[in-house]
């Protein structure tokens, strides 16, 4: 069976999964060599690594590509990728060792894994090896909801979880091998393909052209974690209900889209939102240096910017929208002067949306 098929399949489905698999296979092979596996065992380990996540092609986009942590129900669906993968390849003639990697790579040494709850040496050797490599790759990879762990931190975590998640006899070999590989993987390369840009644009962009609110909280928390000053501005349409009732939903949607376009022109210099999504999803979010526009609610647009837009720019947004028949109120606050945590900003936003004042400003 040509493994290139599965590599391309994963890349077309989710570019991150493809990169994750390639690095996991490399880590696993080096660990296997250190353990003295035979050439045949190494080939089975490699093949098993390339097919281990193939069942993710059957996981819905809303779960597979979700930018934040999965809910318990979503996680239960994600766990089905093992079963789906087995059903997909069971009749294709892969060796048993490779199938073991697919079936058991989510099992944990203490029996708390899935899908079978096997423990200790009930888990086949190749799967025990790949579990360590797979987990280490996940630890050191970037996610929208977490920063990548430093190499040394991830190695310590392997040691701390020896006997719990991982085979304690294999972990020392893994730590030694992975320590030696650090220089080659000091920076995980970003994945930037046009097909992913298009897919994420549809999935993460609101129809207004703003980024959907799902990404707001993790982005906010990442900016706060970085610690550098930044500005948050919220625009709230006061008469959207009236516009919808009097002129129809299409006019209301047009008002929202025009607000995003106006904010982009006045405050953000027309940054490519699709490129911004790629940055948010594939590069450490703390590297973001451009304003990011979010659709926070039905009639609310928020902007996180690493600089303070001049007050006249914000005023010009309100004036432009008034000319279009849209009444705005807005609020501009700064980190860390006006808030120091995401909870504090969420409280400010909540109080602001309840306020009848048309224009508010923190100084």
Q: What SS3 state is found at 317?
A: helix
* Alpha helices (H) along 105-193: 125-140, 151-160, 171-181
Read off the pLDDT of each residue in 229-246 and give the average, rounded to a whole number.
Answer: 90
The residue with greater pLDDT, 198 or 295, is 295
pLDDT number for residue 122? 97
pLDDT number for residue 355? 72
Lowest mean pLDDT among 59-63, 98-102, 359-363: 359-363
Question: How many Cα atoms occupy the beta-carbon half-sphere of 166 within 13 Å?
Answer: 24
- Residue 120 Ramachandran class (φ > 0 left, ψ -120 to 50 alpha, else beta): left
Query: Which of 281, 273, 285 lies closest to 221, judged by CA?
Result: 285
DSSP letters for 11-25: HHH-HHHHHHHHHHH
d(CA 84, CA 308): 49
pLDDT number for residue 360? 46
For 41, 154, 177, 270, 290, the CA distances from 148, given in Å and listed in that order, are: 31, 9, 20, 30, 21
pLDDT number for residue 2? 65
Confidence of residue 121 (pLDDT cuts 50, 70, 90): very high
Examine the pLDDT at 261 and tell me if it is beyond 60: yes
The residue with greater pLDDT, 249 or 108, is 108
| Domains and their CATH numbers in the chain | 3-185 (1.10.3210.10), 203-354 (3.30.70.270)
Lowest mean pLDDT among 53-67, 72-86, 189-203, 285-299: 189-203
Confidence of residue 289 (pLDDT cuts 50, 70, 90): low
Span 53-92, pLDDT tens digits = 999 888 887 787 776 677 889 899 999 999 999 999 999 9
The full length of the chain comes to 363
As a whole-number percent, the residues of the chain with pLDDT over 90 amount to: 41
- On whether the pTM is more than 0.75, the answer is no
Span 141-171, pLDDT tens digits = 766 556 678 899 999 999 999 999 999 999 9
Exposed, middle or buried, 187 (CB in 10 Å: 0-12/13-18/19+)?
exposed
As a whole-number percent, the residues of the chain with pLDDT over 70 amount to: 80
């Amino acid at each position: 069976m040509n493994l290139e098929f599965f590599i391309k399949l994963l890349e077309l489905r989710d570019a991150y999964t493809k990169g994750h698999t390639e690095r996991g296979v490399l880590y696993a092979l080096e660990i296997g060599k250190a353990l003295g596996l035979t050439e045949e065992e190494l080939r089975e380990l490699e093949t098993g690594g390339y097919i281990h996540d193939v069942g993710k092609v059957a996981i819905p986009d809303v779960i597979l590509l979700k930018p934040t942590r999965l809910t318990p129900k979503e996680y239960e669906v994600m766990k089905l990728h093992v079963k789906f993968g087995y059903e997909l390849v069971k009749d294709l003639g892969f060796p048993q060792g490779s199938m073991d990697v697919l079936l058991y790579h989510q099992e944990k040494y203490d029996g708390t894994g899935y899908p079978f709850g096997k423990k200790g040496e009930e888990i086949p050797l190749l799967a025990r090896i790949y579990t360590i490599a797979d987990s280490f790759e996940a630890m050191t990879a970037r996610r929208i909801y977490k920063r990548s762990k430093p190499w040394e931190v991830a190695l310590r975590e392997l040691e701390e979880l020896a006997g719990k998640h991982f085979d304690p006899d294999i972990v020392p070999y893994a730590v030694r091998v992975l320590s030696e590989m650090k220089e080659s993987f000091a920076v995980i390369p970003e994945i930037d393909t046009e097909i992913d840009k298009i897919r994420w644009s549809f999935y993460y962009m609101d129809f207004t052209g703003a980024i959907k609110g799902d990404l707001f909280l993790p982005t906010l928390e990442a900016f706060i974690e970085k610690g550098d000053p930044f500005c948050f501005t919220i625009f709230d349409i006061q008469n959207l209900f009236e516009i919808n009732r009097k002129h129809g939903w299409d006019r209301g949607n047009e008002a929202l889209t025009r607000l995003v376009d106006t904010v982009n022109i006045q405050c953000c210099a027309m940054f490519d939102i699709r490129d911004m999504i790629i940055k948010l999803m594939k590069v450490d979010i703390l590297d973001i240096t451009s304003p990011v526009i979010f659709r926070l609610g039905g009639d609310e647009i928020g902007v996180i910017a690493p600089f303070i837009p001049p007050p006249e720019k914000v005023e010009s947004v309100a004036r432009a929208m008034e000319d279009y028949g849209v009444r705005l109120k807005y609020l501009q606050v700064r980190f860390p002067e006006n808030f120091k945590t995401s909870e504090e900003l969420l409280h400010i936003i909540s109080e602001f949306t309840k306020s009848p004042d048309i224009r508010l400003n923190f100084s």
